[in-house]
Structure 1
Amino acid sequence: MKLARALGLVAASFSTCSAGSSFIDFRSVDGEIKADNETFHIKGINWFGGETIELVVQGLWPSATTIGDALDLFASYDINALRLPLAMDSVMDDPKVKSTQTGGSPSLAGKTYLEVLDVIVREARERNILIMFDSHRIEASEPDFPDIAVPDDITPALQKLATRYCDDPGAWNVFAIDLKNEPKAKPRAKDYPVKLSNMERLVYSPHLISPGVDYKAPWWSDSSFPDNMPDIWDEYFGFVPKETGQAVVVGSWGAQMKDNNKKWANAVSAYLEEKSIGSFYWAFNPSQPTLEGSLRTTGSLLLTSALLYLSYCLQLV
């Protein structure tokens, strides 16, 4: 069913601590994310690379950016959450990150995969930016999950991340894990929804694909485009908060800001605002021509239309 194809799952942490060692109580209730019983809206961005054989977020090469500078930029645009795609084998093996990938940050020299994650978590914490880990790949060398994902290939890595961060007051900002990026399942999946012993930990996370990526989708050529999109999104995931009581956070959406892609992006932002649905923009990286990242391909930091657009369109109240 469409729901199963469209939705990922996020387990909201129940033991997230503040800098003052008091716990922030994140829950998925009444179709919203609550932080200490206050409605909390995610205005996030993806920064990928940790799921690949590069082993680290892209852009840390010489004359590009640093983790601190990037997070300063996010904070200046009121971005409050960062989604980090990971590879499960890299979490388990914890290899050293090659200096060619971190040449612009000498302090990262010799650090392992998880040690670099520690730095990102710490730097984000200092700016009050939340971290969501994304179980993006089983193996860094493989571009995607296999059609059938065996839990034993995923669960140990998730447990390792939880052990490392969930009980550490210094990592209070690690608040969620996307259990599997873009799951695919049988049409009957909607008839067998996820059931947890504590449903307040469950958030659904659809991904929205732009015309520049999924150019064959029939709705782009509809004469009513982009006005036809809200009904489609309602069918796929918009019904979830009201019918299930679970929160929805869009885990990925992005587009080049021109032509049909810009029309689509305008429709997405209007829909998210109307529904009060938070999201993570894809992505900060420069390396995908079909999307518009915020880090220029030459390596220098640039406030592009994508980041400006993100700042404008996700001012949820």
Structure 2
Amino acid sequence: MNRVDDFFNSIESVMDGLLKQQYIVDRKIATAVFLAGRLEKPLLIEGPAGVGKTGLAGAIATARQTELVRLQCYPGLDESKTLYEWNYQKQLLYIQMHGSDVDIFSSEFLLERPLLKAFRAPKPVVLLVDEIDKSEEELESFLLEALSEFQVSIPELGILTAMHKPYVVITSNSTRELGDALKRRCLYLYLAYPDAAREQAILSLKVPGLSGFLAKQIVAFVQQLRKMKLKKAPSITETIDWARTLLLLGRDSLEEQLVRHTLNVLLKYEEDIREAERKSGGILLSLAADSGPVAGAFAEDDNQPKVDRAGIDQKQQHGPDPADDPVLARFDF
């Protein structure tokens, strides 16, 4: 195998390759990525927005030292914007210079769009068809045909077959039901929000200097927010942003007033922020009951009991023992 293919040597090599890109996966996710590569089948990833579907495609491309070619789907996207267009200005200029008898329908005048670019790439690339659920069913059918045989038909040039089969990742936020034909031809993976252990491991990797105690508090609070009926639950990226915010503010524990002042980093709708503000005190109280007293957790609210930091368990304050680190435990969360 060449260096690019080494990524697909084993499930462990997939996990290690993604970890080097600071993307943590469990064995189930790594297995799906591995099988899609070895079986040369598209990987269809569904799940809520913000769970890392697009990030996974980018991490795979970087780990394989190849290019990520992204086709961003949206309502009204048609075949031409997916595949190719002719450079009409260049064609017109060429006719003016050389006359009307010249061939202006050759690859020299072709503007490659993402699908054709991936097919004509000089080495295998990662083709990301992002948010396919935002496109119409007609485009889904066209992509299904193109990705089945990895070839496309251009009337002026004939049938073009991919020089190298791209690694295809198709993502969907499940805003509409995808066709059975597409699902049959893909390996399926559902990405949910990470559990507490994996999200804490992600924070440890992405936010250097964050204490294990604060990381545990942040993750526990965000996990509670995701259980609420919000218009948009906090994504992993927003959890990371919030952790960086608290680190920047020099805080080592969650306090109710601090939470209220920084909820806009986590939540992006005013009604969600108001709902979270109403429940933040109760969430922090439940976290304190589960993990021991939290310094100053309610110091800003006279209606809540004051707590003493003396009762914080030393292990919680300094984070988990490295022997218990889920990253070192091969991501078996």
TM-score (norm 1): 0.31
**Bigger relative contact order (CA 8 A; separation at least 6):** 1
Larger radius of gyration: 2
More helix by share: 2
